[in-house]
Amino acid sequence: MNVVSRHVCDLGRFDADPEKSYTIPKEYYTDPAIFAREKEAIFFKAWNYVCHTSQVAEAGAYVTVRIIDQNIVVMRGQADVLRAFYNVCSHRAHELLHGCGQTRMVTCPYHAWTYHTDGKLRTAVGQKRVEGFEADEFALKQVKLEEYAGFIFVNLDPDASPLHAEAGSLADDIKGYCADVPGLKFAHRLTYEIKANWKNVVDNFLECYHCSVAHPAFVDLVDIKNYHTKTYDLYSSHISPPGRSDNAAYQIPDGPAGNFAAWWLWPSVTFNVFPGSANITVLHIQPTGPETTLEHFDFFFADATPTEGERQAIDYIDKVLQPEDIGLVESVQRGLHSRGYNQGRLMVDKDRSYNSEHGLHHFHALVLKQLGDL
């Protein structure tokens, strides 16, 4: 493979001051060598989103997640202890569980080794005939797990500091807009495979400069002129009062409409409260390669069966908002290969207005710092 890395540490016109800064150079969005560094320095060091607590509430419930090339399973043990493991058999490395579900024990599909839900090896066919075989040696390898703000996160770095210490006031901020996140139930998942680098997708989430141009219904759903982005250590908030109840996106039920409130948490998950009845949605942006990204858009409502209004909101996001954004980021990804482009100026204004792109600068600086490039 011909890996281009000559620009790895050349930040060009990126500046520590957001008001003077350009974007990170285009290689950061395309170079396999930079992606390989991000995998180790960012995704294998950060707290990665897995699911809502209700999705692993019962003994034996499990949810799997991929962190680039690492397959992880979160599972609740019989004694009500939640654990995370590398989702791989200790025998000859077959993957163990798929998707999500509930099980009394884990059976490997290859040679039927079985594991308890606490990760200990239960049986290996023929183990008594193998000299010195110690079942204890073959328990599943555990990964750090933390419940935070009603959600489950894992971290592959055994020395990682706790998420609640790293995320600061995020959980309290979310509570201010969605009072009972743990009480909501999983209602729907939308899935998208996007031909774009994960940072390109995050960038798009972090600014509403494009909203008036690209999202005519969204700027009707929210009060766009009062859309504000604030940055914190490891997250940013994107908050707006509601727009018109008979907006072009979906009908907001009668009663107080609630704000649009969204948060991006390092490195690649967003939590969103849309105007309407109690809800939170999670947009999990998962890199699958230097220029490919998997997105899950999960909806959590008061009830697992969406109401008519909630169904309308899901349809709006699936049929309108997501295609609008995916079209943008895929075009940008193609544009990043152009010989006529390297870095663009971040449109950051002093007032941090609704058009300001300071959220991107905050994100780009975190990426560069974590890579050791800044």
> Rule CB under 6 A: which residues touch ligand FES?
89, 91-92, 94, 108, 110-111, 113
29 closest CA partner among 372, 363, 374, 262: 363
Contact 10, 117 (CB under 8 A): no
Contacts with 216 (C-beta within 8 Å, 6 or more apart), sequence order = 248
Alpha-helical regions (H) of the chain = 32-38, 163-166, 170-177, 198-206, 211-214, 218-221, 308-316, 322-335, 358-371
CB of 91 to ligand FES, least distance (A): 3
Nearer to ligand FES, 94 or 104 (CB): 94
CB of 205 to Fe ion, least distance (A): 7
Nearer to ligand FES, 108 or 167 (CB): 108
Residues making contact with Fe ion (CB under 5 A): 325
Nearer to Fe ion, 291 or 325 (CB): 325
The neighbouring-strand residues paired with 287 are: 293
Nearer to ligand FES, 11 or 106 (CB): 106
Identify the DSSP state of 22.
Answer: B
Nearer to ligand FES, 111 or 189 (CB): 111
Selection from Fe ion, ligand FES, none that 282 binds (CB < 5 to 8 A by kind) is: none
Selection from ligand FES, Fe ion, none that 104 binds (CB < 5 to 8 A by kind) is: none
CB of 244 to Fe ion, least distance (A): 19
The neighbouring-strand residues paired with 114 are: 107, 123
Selection from ligand FES, Fe ion, none that 110 binds (CB < 5 to 8 A by kind) is: ligand FES
Selection from Fe ion, ligand FES, none that 325 binds (CB < 5 to 8 A by kind) is: Fe ion
Selection from ligand FES, Fe ion, none that 111 binds (CB < 5 to 8 A by kind) is: ligand FES
Alpha-helical regions (H) of 114-197 = 163-166, 170-177
CB of 250 to ligand FES, least distance (A): 47
CB of 87 to ligand FES, least distance (A): 12
Q: Is 197 helix (H, G, I), strand (E, B) or coil?
A: coil
Concatenated DSSP letters for 230-276? EE-SSEEEEEE-B--TT-SS-PPPSS----EEEEEETTTEEEEE-SS
Selection from ligand FES, Fe ion, none that 234 binds (CB < 5 to 8 A by kind) is: none
